Amino acid sequence: MAARVCKRDRLQPLVGALLWLLLGSVAWAQPEPDSLAERWARLLVRGDAFTSLEAENALVRLGPEARPVLERLLQEGSRRREWQRAARVLGRLGDRRARPALHRFLQRRKTDPLARLEAARALLRLGDRYGIDVALELLADSDRSIRLGALLLFARYTHRDFGFRFDGPSGERAAALRRMRAWWESVRRDAVLVGP
């Protein structure tokens, strides 16, 4: 008596049927592919300067699809560079729905002036007056470069500088800062921010 040979292609359906009988309906989970925004966000924070600039521009071109990924990076990022870049791109997106995430970030990062400066810049790009409040706060910082960045931000959106010199004597800076705060309090409610 000769042995019967069963071809492999005839066994495949049988193996599948046996697995179905033993295990029931089985669906093999495939990992969800990363969205394009998530891929660009990884390059934004992990790439070199040129790669991250390219990623920043790509995320801006993606538009609203990139906002949730950037907000998550802003909240969960572990390094200053991640926060700064995420805040910068959120501002460039122009999506006003990013404002609450930036406000939450500013509440959490009260002691990081560089990250606060970038978040204030993003808020001002989105037309949020709170960015001026943060800039005024940063004008009193002990670091000259932070004061310079805050002054440039304040002057860019208010078109005033009140004679504040970021590297001037502390007495002159304090007097100019008082004038700036008094002016801002008088116009804050009705102010329309005009960016660059």
pTM exceeding the 0.85 threshold for the entire prediction: no
Helix axes 170-187, 144-158, angle to 10 degrees: 30
Confidence at 192, pLDDT banded by 50, 70, 90: confident
pLDDT of 71 higher than 60: yes
SS3 category, 129: coil
pLDDT of 37 higher than 70: yes
The pLDDT of 114-139, averaged and rounded, is 94
Q: Is 177 exposed, middle or buried, given 0-12, 13-18 or 19+ CB atoms closer than 10 A?
A: middle
Confidence at 61, pLDDT banded by 50, 70, 90: very high
What does the pLDDT read at residue 151?
A: 96
pLDDT of 194 higher than 80: no
What the block records as the tokens of 8 is 């492999």
